[in-house]
Structure 1
C-alpha cells in the first residue's frame, strides 16, 4: 500500500470515530442473541413467540414523550426504536427462496424526511449488521407477509394493554402491527382466559347452584384484585343473579367459554423471561453496577449541597445533573424527593415544596444507564443534623436494613429479609411508645423490602430463593404522617434507606455503599463543602 493512501485511510478512520461520539458500551449483539436462544430452548415444538416494541406515546398536541423501549423487547433484540416486532420460531423455517431461518426482526423503515426531523433509523441493513439478525424486514412486511399463526400449536405473546394509538404518521406503527397480528392469528379476547379468570370459571362450572352465593363472594373479591373482570358480562350477571334458572343458563355459557379453544398463550413469555432476567450476566452487571454507583454519587453530592432554603425540585435537579454528567440517558423512574410529611408518601413525585427547611428529606432516585436502572434511597436532615426524634427512628430503620442485608445469601428465601426487618421495626416502635404492643397492626411500615432491579426498576422475577448474580434491593422504612395515633413529636418523620445488593458466593455486596448510611457518616458528609456552594443564579423576581 502506498504511504499516502495508508495515511489517508488512517486519518479517515480516526475522523469518523471521533465524529461519532456516541455511547459504545451498550449490551453486545451476542448478549441479545444468547437470550433469544435461551428463550427458544424453553419453547415447545411447533410454537412461535411474537414480541412487540413499545409505541411512541403522545405527551400533548404534536409533542411525544421521549421514547423508551419495552424492556423484554430490548432484552431479546437490542433494538432501541419504536414500531418493531420480533418473531421467534421454535424450529427452523424455510422461505420460498430456500432461506433457512428461525427468527425475524421487523423494524421501522428508513425514511429520509422522518430521519431529518427525529433522528436516524437503524433500518433493515442496520438490524442485520449491528444487531446480528440473519433476517430483518421492514414493519410493513409484517403486515404484508403471509404469516400463518394458526398452524402453530402455541403462539406466545404478552398480554395486550392496548395503550397505543393510531397517529397515521407511519404505515406500520405498533397500532397497525398489533392489529395485523390479531387478524392473522384470529385473536379473540373472549377466548383468552387469564389464570385468575380460568380459576373462577372452573369454580362457577363445578359449584352446585345452591352454593353459588359463595362463588359470588369470591368473584367480588377477585374483581377488587383484577378490575378487568368487570368487563366479563356473563360473570358479572352470575355474581348478581338471584333467579335459579338464570344462574343455570349463565353457568352453562361460562362452561362453554372454559372449553373455547385457542393456541394463543399470554403467560409463557412473561413467566420465562422473568426467569431469565432475574439472574444477571457479567455483561449486565457492568452496566447495572455503573447505574447504581452513579446514583450513589448523586446522593453524596446532594448531601454536600443541601441547604434549608432549597426546594425539593432543586434537589431533584442536582441528582439528575449528576446522572447526566456520567452519561446516564434517563432516570429509571420518576424521582422522589419528599421533605417532612411528603416523605411519608411512598411514591411522592410532585417534588414541589419550595423550601425543605429543617425537615428530613427522603430521596428515592435511580439513574438509568444503557437501559439498566438503579434504585437508591437516602433520608437526610436538610440542616445537616438529625434531631433526637429523627435519629431514634433512623437508627431503627438502619438496624433493620443491616440485619436484612445479612440474609442476602444464595439459597435463602427472598421473603426472609422482609420478615427480619418487620420484627426489628415493630420492636423499635414499641420501645419508643409509638405502638402499644409488638404485635399491634400499624400503618407505619406498609411495604416489603426486596425487589429485583435491572432493565426495570421493579425487574420481573419468580421471588423464590436468592441466586448468585441477582441484584435485589433492601429497603426498610418507617413513615409517621401527621395525624398519626402517637405522640406529635413523631409526626412528619418519613425514613427509608434503600440499597442495591448483589448476591455473591462470598455473601451480599452492597453496590450503593458509596452513599453514606449511618447518622454519623451522613452528618460528616453534609458538613463538607459542595462544588455548588458558589453556583448562584440571578434572582428573576427582582
Structure 2
C-alpha cells in the first residue's frame, strides 16, 4: 500500500522537483521525560514507518523517479535504555524502498547538497523546486516546524528554488480509503465496541467519570491498543461541553452519561459516541430528545451519498432536529436550531480523527466519515450525541459501527 501511496503522490509532483517528509521527533515533557512519540501522519502514509527522526526524499524528473530513506543507525548504548531501532533492511522491507536507497541520516545534508549544486549534481537533472509538508495539523509532531525551518534554510542558500506545499495533495490522496485502511478502521471499531460493552455493563449511579474512562482505557490496554484521542466521559451538564475531558464528576442518578471515545489500530482511528442513562432507564424527556437525535442519525446514514458535501449533510441533519424539536415544543423558530446543536454533524476519519481532506469538496466514494447529530439543553442538564462511522459507497453508506447498540431498548436491556 505504501509504495502505491508514494506513486500516487509522485504523480502529482511537477517535473524536476524533490519532496521531503520528516517522521517527527520525540517531544520533551520535562527534564529527561518525553511524551509518547506520534509519527507525522503524512510521512506514515507514504512509508508505514513509525519511528522518530526519519526522512523520506522523493525525486521526479522527465525520465524517472527515485525514493530515498534516511534514518539513524542503532546505538548499542541507547538500545540498553530505549530498545532497538529499525534496521536498514527492515525499513527497506516495510516501506518497499530498495535497500541501496536506505542511508544513514548523518549523510542526508551532503546527499541533498550534491543534488542541488549544479557542479556536483549526481541526480542528472536540474532541480527547480521542493515540496514540503507545511500543514498546520502537523505542528504537534514538530514535523511542520522541521519542514518550515529546513525550507527557510534552503531558500537562504538557494533563493532560485520554488517551494510547494505538499500537504495540499494529501487532502485528495487520503480522502478515499483503500481496503487495507478500511480493514484497520473496522478493527479499531470492533475493539471500540467491546470496550463500550464493558462500560455499559459496569455503569452504576455514584461512580465517577474517571472510573468509566479507566474501564474503557483498561480494555484497550489489555488489547494492545490505545485511545485515538482524549476520551470524553461527560455526565449531566458536562455533556454540554463538546470537548469536555476533566472526567472527574460523580455520576448522579437519573442523569445521562455521554461517552465519546475512539480507538487507534495501526494508526487508523475509530470515533464513536453513545449516551447511557446512569440509572439504567431513560426518563420521559431524555427519551424524547434521544429518539429525535437517533432519528437524525439513522436518516442521515440512509440519505448520505458520495456526491453530497458536509454542508449539505449538516443542513439535512439539522433540519430533522429543528422540525423534531418544534413538534416537541422545545423550539419555536427552526432558524434557531444552532442554539441546541452547535457543531457540525460529521467529518472524515482515518489516520487522523478529523482527517485531512477538503471539506468544501464532495464527500466522495470510499471515504470513511462520522455522522454525529447532537442536541444540548442547559436548562435540563442534557447533552445527547450519537456518532457512527460510515464507509461511503457508490450507492450510499455502510455503517461500520452498526454493532454498537444505540436503540433505547437495547441499551436498557444491557443495563438491567
Structure 1-normalised TM-score?
0.69
Instruction: Show the counterpart of 2:122.
Output: none
2:402 to 501, 513, 519: 513
Please list the CA deviations of residues 54-88 of structure 1 after superposition, one character each: whole Å capped at 9, or x if unmatched: 22112222111111111110000111111111111
Q: Secondary structure at the match of 2:10?
A: helix
> Once the 2 structures are TM-superposed, how far is the Cα of residue 503 of structure 1 from its aligned partner?
1.5
Q: State the 1:165 CA deviation.
A: 11
Query: 1:342 is matched with which residue?
Result: 238
Aligned counterpart, 1:366:
262
CA contact (8 A) 2:234 2:258 kept: yes
Quote the offset at 1:160 in angstroms.
7.1
Answering whether residue 291 of structure 2 is matched by residue 325 of structure 1, we say no
Q: Does structure 2 conserve the Cα–Cα contact (< 8 Å) formed by 1:164 and 1:175?
A: no
Could you list the runs of 5+ residues in structure 1 that have no partner in the other structure?
A: 1-30, 94-99, 167-172, 192-260, 482-487, 528-542
Match of 1:294, SS state, is helix
1:282 deviates by 0.9
Separation (CA, whole Å) in 1 of partners of 2:373 and 2:146: 44
Aligned residue number for residue 108 of structure 1: 72
Alignment correspondent of 1:144: 110
1-side partners of 2:167 and 2:5: how far apart? 14
- In the alignment, structure 1 residue 304 sits paired with structure 2 residue 268: no
Q: For residues 438 and 178 of structure 1, do their structure 2 counterparts lie closer, same or farther at Cα, with a shift above 3 Å needed?
A: closer
SS of the residue corresponding to residue 76 of structure 1 reads helix
Indicate the residue corresponding to 1:280 in structure 2. 177
Distance 1:149 1:512, change over 3 A: farther
| Partner residue of 1:467 out of 349, 354, 364 | 364
Name the residue aligned to 1:183: 153
* Secondary structure class of the residue paired with 2:405: coil
Offset at 1:522? 1.0
Query: Shift in Å at residue 164 of structure 1?
Result: 8.1
- State the shift of 1:152 in Å: 2.5
Find the counterpart in structure 2 of residue 157 from structure 1.
132
Matched, 1:454 2:353: no
Q: Is the 8 A contact 2:390 2:397 kept in 1?
A: yes
Does residue 163 of structure 2 align to residue 264 of structure 1? yes
Identify which of 429, 432, 435 aligns with 2:328. Answer: 432
Q: 1:405 aligns with which of 286, 294, 301?
A: 301
Give the 3-state SS of the residue equivalent to 1:59 in structure 2.
Answer: strand
CA distance in 1, matches of 2:274, 2:90: 42
Partner SS, residue 206 of structure 2: coil
Cα deviations across residues 426-448 of structure 1 (Å, max 9, x unaligned)?
12222333332222364211111
> Alpha-carbon deviation of 1:300?
2.1
Partner SS, residue 337 of structure 1: strand
Question: What CA distance in whole angstroms lies between the structure 1 residues aligned with 2:115 and 2:331?
Answer: 63
Q: Distance in 1 between matches of 2:77 and 2:372?
A: 48
Aligned residues, how many? Answer: 403
Q: Per chain length, whose mean CA-contact separation is higher, i.e. which structure has more relative contact order (CA < 8 Å, sep 6+)?
A: 2
SS at 1:358 equivalent: coil
Higher radius of gyration, 1 or 2? 1
Aligned to 1:235: none
2:120 is aligned to none
Residues 160 and 174 (structure 1), Cα distance of their counterparts in 2 relative to 1, 3 Å cut: closer
Secondary structure (helix, strand or coil) at the match of 2:53 reads: coil
- Assess if the C-alpha contact under 8 Å between 2:23 and 2:54 holds in 1: yes
Q: Distance in 2 between matches of 1:426 and 1:187?
A: 59
* Cα offset, 1:320, TM superposition: 1.6
Equivalent residue for 1:87, pick from 57, 60, 74: 57
How far, CA to CA, are the matches of 2:349 and 2:190 in structure 1?
14
CA RMSD of aligned residues (A): 2.6
Shift of 1:419: 1.2
Contact 1:408 1:466 in 2 (8 A): no
1:137 match: secondary structure: strand
The 1-side partners of 2:156 and 2:189 are apart by: 44
- TM superposition shift of 1:340: 0.5
Q: 1-side partners of 2:257 and 2:267: how far apart?
A: 28
- Post-superposition Cα deviations, 1:139-197, rounded to whole Å, max 9, x if no partner, equal 2111333255585223111227696899xxxxxx9988875554234389xx9xxxxxx
TM-fit CA distance, 1:128? 2.1
